[in-house]
Amino acid sequence: MFPDLGPQATNIITEITSKAVRMTNVHSGVNVDINDFAYVAETGKAFDEAVVSVLKAAERKGWSLFQVYDLRERLASKGFVQEPLKVIEICNGRHANKILGRDRLASLCMPCRINVLEEGGKVRIASMRPAMMSQLFPGICQEDVEDVEKELREIVDSSI
């Protein structure tokens, strides 16, 4: 389906995504730092241990697990080599219902995802910052997503 871009392209893509790059919102012309979009924390835990920590932390906070995607495994089945990367989809019904009641297109950012990734022997846990939703969807204000962001940050922080 996708062409094999080779190790050089893979290294370039990895380098770009691992740096705090600047993104431009085409519609508003506002420059946004990756740190405005994502909350990333490094952990001293092994990769699999960090994944289990995220799952347990989400459960403790009352979030439901939807799915865990092992992107390394999925890409390996297509002949591509990646370092460990799992995408954990979680949802809190109360928050989801509130956000969808404001703007149903916000479902493009749902369910919430927490990624556990290993790069160069370092394990990081990352989550999108829901505060960005208030800049993307006109029906959502900052107050609508503050609790969601706080809880996701707490899940990440308690997993490191």
Tokens of 70: 């092992």
Q: How confident is the model at residue 22 (pLDDT cuts 50, 70, 90)?
A: very low
Chain mean position to CA 81 = 21
| Spatial separation of the C-alpha atoms in residues 132 and 76, rounded to whole Å | 32
Q: Which pTM was predicted?
A: 0.78
Residue 117 phi, psi (nearest 5): -135, 150
Distance, CA of 36 to CA of 129 (rounded, Å): 7
Domains of the chain: 38-159 (3.30.310.70)
What's residue 21's pLDDT? 40
What's the pLDDT at 35?
A: 84
pLDDT digits (tens, 9 = 90+) for 32-56: 678 888 999 999 999 999 999 999 9
C-alpha dist (Å) from residue 103 to 3, 55, 107, 115, 146: 37, 28, 8, 25, 16
